[in-house]
Chain A
Amino acid sequence: MTFIGMPRGTGNLTGAPFPEAASEALDNAQLRRNLAKATGTIRAKRAAVVDELPDWAALRAAGAAIKDDVLANLDTYLLRFEAALTERGSTVHWARDAEEATRIVTELVTATGAREVIKVKSMATAEIGLNEALAAAGVAAVETDLAELIVQLGHDRPSHILVPAIHRNRAEIREIFAEGMGATDLTDDPRVLAEAARAHLRRKFLTVDVAVSGANFAIAETGGLVVVESEGNGRMCLTLPRTLISVVGIEKIIPAWQDLEVFLQLLPRSSTGERMNPYTSVWTGPTEGQTSHVVLVDNGRTATLADPDGRAALRCIRCSACLNSCPVYERTGGHAYGSTYPGPIGAVLSPQLTGIDRNPTLPYASSLCGVCYDVCPVAIDIPSMLVHLRGRAPKPRAEAAAMRAAAWAMSDHRRWRRLLRAGRLGRALGRRPMLPPPLSAWTRARDLPEPPRQTFRDWWDTR
């Protein structure tokens, strides 16, 4: 197939094989409790506000179709976006992969003489490993989103697209802040902790002169960029520093200003379960005396685009509804996926960005129950795409009978859904924490004297 030869994405898109990382996560009771509480809360809120809109199905269909139109005409829209940006005074840069993107940003930052940058939470900059690259050049990147700050001060990794510190509870956060900010008078009241972050970051907002952002949407027609957020740290970063560098994946384009009327209804309700997020910033070219740079990043997106059965993953607007609804994610958390993009969308996106050979287990990190598809605001059929990607993964030397049977069942997702439904009737998941079948084979394996756990590792590692 032609797309095999397409250059792939690099950066923070791979980790330990999913079964191993998942086993570790399942042993962490704190993580499981936090995740269950958090995802359960967001799921309920999302369902309530989605039900409020009588035209949700039509909005979802329009969102999917607008993104498909963008993908089908991506070259045209990219050129239109570039022209609009240039006309309004922004400088546009193009990066084929993570290395090129981080080099461009690092050069832009060091050219200003800054030793510190403030950052708005951005998946794209996490994907390309920007903070690490800046650190290597002697520039400190300060995360300003509260959760990202918790992750950064805790020398940790994000575990959720939207709530990166979802795996930490309030007592842990108090300790991280006490250590990282030298704050001594903290309690574990979320109000007190948020106030500590406000004071800590306000100094940075008022003094640091370079900011790095991503964008939720990039409007081809006007050159407009849109950042959707809650805390106001985004507004601070976009407004106060003199230089603003925005790192934007090439699939973030939407054709016209009017299209925002669809996405600003789909995104907040799907992601935080709010009717609208507290703050959305829209800007078009440098504003109020700023210098503005936009870095357009490929990093495996064109390779993903080349597969007609996989390209719909590029519709994703990173709402995280699929994570919050996924029974596998709820038990393992985001770290198990090893990539910047966790959960169901990560299971289909990461292997396509990197090439399936570098993420061979991720397409199996799912029970194909189909909830992710139902909640996705841009109707990405993740289950079918997983089955498709399994077909492209290196073929197994199947040795474990359980997994062979599972592989047979999963090879056809209708067949699998039937089995799953039948299985639900009689089966409880068991007393100890387990993944839903067939992934339960990974966890069950650890209880069996024969065959040893190693069998499954071997089996997975050779896939």
Chain B
Amino acid sequence: MTEPGARAAILARVRSALRDRPSATVARDYRRAGTRGRGDLDRFAEMLRDYRALVRITDDVPAAIGDRGFIAAPGCPPEWGGDRRQHTVAELDRVDGVITACAVAIADTGTIVLDHDAPDQGARALTLVPDHHIVVVRADQIVPGVPDAVAALAGVRTQTWISGPSATSDIELERVEGVHGPRTLEVIIDIR
């Protein structure tokens, strides 16, 4: 617990440190949200492949998902299939894979963002513990850059930004996919 006086002391130190009254003006001369049109699907797919994610572009999502005995976030469209029951973490450790939707995707960086309060994306453990994650991205969810995604996500409290499968470069900087998160990231881009 905070020592009595610690909070007041730190705030007093801050104010005393700023006695010269510094100030700063922020100029945002970079490419802002909404200035670059729509996100480029091909670029998005290329960035994902660069991370060694599996990418499939289709107008038939249920066929692309098929029947693999995966689980799915409860709010996914019924035609995506998958087991919709609640699972404990120990149970999640035994399932083969999980299907979810996403909130927004970024072409420049090959990033997919999950909003964990949205029922078609599910609680965090759902997309973390299973070893294979299928995420369905609608083509109109792809934005050009990071600022476009940040603007689209304002107010979303719990998010995971995913750019390729789990990876490490900690051993002689050699990239190894698949440490603790899903080792396979499969992205189905819905162009219907």
Please tell me which one of the listed residues B90, B93, B125, B174 contacts residue A190 in the complex, with CB atoms under 8 A apart.
B174
Segment at the interface with A among B13-21, B59-67, B79-87: B13-21
In the complex, what's the smallest C-beta–C-beta distance from A93 to chain B, in angstroms? 5
Contact A231 B180 (CB under 8 A): yes
In the complex, what's the smallest C-beta–C-beta distance from B64 to chain A, in angstroms? 23
Is A150 an interface residue, CB under 8 A from the partner?
A: yes
* B33, closest chain A residue (CB): A261
Is A306 an interface residue, CB under 8 A from the partner?
A: yes
In the complex, what's the smallest C-beta–C-beta distance from A238 to chain B, in angstroms? 8
Is A211 an interface residue, CB under 8 A from the partner?
A: no
Please tell me which one of the listed residues B3, B7, B27 contacts residue A61 in the complex, with CB atoms under 8 A apart.
B27
Interface centre among B29, B31, B162, B169 (most CB of A within 10 A): B169
* B149, closest chain A residue (CB): A261
Please tell me which one of the listed residues B13, B33, B146 contacts residue A265 in the complex, with CB atoms under 8 A apart.
B146
B residues neighboring A (CB under 8 Å): 1-3, 6-7, 9-11, 13-20, 22-31, 33, 47, 50-51, 89-90, 93, 106, 108-111, 116, 123-125, 128, 145-147, 149-151, 153-174, 176, 178-182
Residues in A whose Cβ lies below 8 Å from that of B33: 261
Contact A68 B1 (CB under 8 A): no
Q: Which 5 pairs from chain A and chain B are nearest by CB?
A: A232-B181, A68-B24, A232-B180, A302-B13, A306-B17
Please tell me which one of the listed residues A54, A62, A233 contacts residue B179 in the complex, with CB atoms under 8 A apart.
A233
Segment at the interface with B among A33-41, A327-335, A374-382, A390-398: A33-41
Contact A38 B6 (CB under 8 A): no
Contact A96 B9 (CB under 8 A): yes
Q: Can you identify 19 A-B contacts, CB atoms within 8 angstroms?
A: A6-B17, A62-B30, A65-B26, A68-B24, A69-B26, A78-B11, A93-B1, A194-B178, A231-B167, A235-B128, A236-B128, A264-B150, A272-B169, A279-B161, A279-B163, A279-B181, A280-B160, A298-B13, A308-B20
* A68, closest chain B residue (CB): B24
Contact A240 B89 (CB under 8 A): yes
Expressed in whole angstroms, the Cα–Cα distance for A262 and B180 within the complex equals 28
Is A282 an interface residue, CB under 8 A from the partner?
A: yes
Residues in B whose Cβ lies below 8 Å from that of A3: 17
Contact B173 A41 (CB under 8 A): yes
Contact A235 B124 (CB under 8 A): yes
Query: If the complex has contacts A95-B2, A206-B93, are A74 and B168 also in contact, measured as CB distance less than 8 A?
Result: no
Query: If the complex has contacts A94-B10, A302-B17, A308-B20, are A232 and B128 also in contact, measured as CB distance less than 8 A?
Result: yes
Residues in B whose Cβ lies below 8 Å from that of A278: 51, 162-167, 181
Contact B173 A163 (CB under 8 A): yes
* A82, closest chain B residue (CB): B7
Expressed in whole angstroms, the Cα–Cα distance for A15 and B26 within the complex equals 38
In the complex, what's the smallest C-beta–C-beta distance from B40 to chain A, in angstroms? 14
Main secondary structure of the interface of A (DSSP, over half): helix
Contact B171 A193 (CB under 8 A): yes
Query: If the complex has contacts A74-B18, A170-B172, A276-B111, are A240 and B125 also in contact, measured as CB distance less than 8 A?
Result: yes
Expressed in whole angstroms, the Cα–Cα distance for A205 and B111 within the complex equals 25
Expressed in whole angstroms, the Cα–Cα distance for A375 and B37 within the complex equals 30
Chain A 357-391 near chain B by CB (<8 Å), digits 1 or 0 = 00000000000000000000000000000000000
Segment at the interface with B among A196-204, A427-435, A450-458: A196-204
Expressed in whole angstroms, the Cα–Cα distance for A305 and B16 within the complex equals 9
Residues in B whose Cβ lies below 8 Å from that of A280: 159-161
Query: If the complex has contacts A257-B154, A285-B157, A298-B10, are A202 and B180 also in contact, measured as CB distance less than 8 A?
Result: yes
* B128, closest chain A residue (CB): A235
Expressed in whole angstroms, the Cα–Cα distance for A235 and B167 within the complex equals 13
Please tell me which one of the listed residues A104, A236, A261 contacts residue B150 in the complex, with CB atoms under 8 A apart.
A261
Residues in B whose Cβ lies below 8 Å from that of A233: 179-180
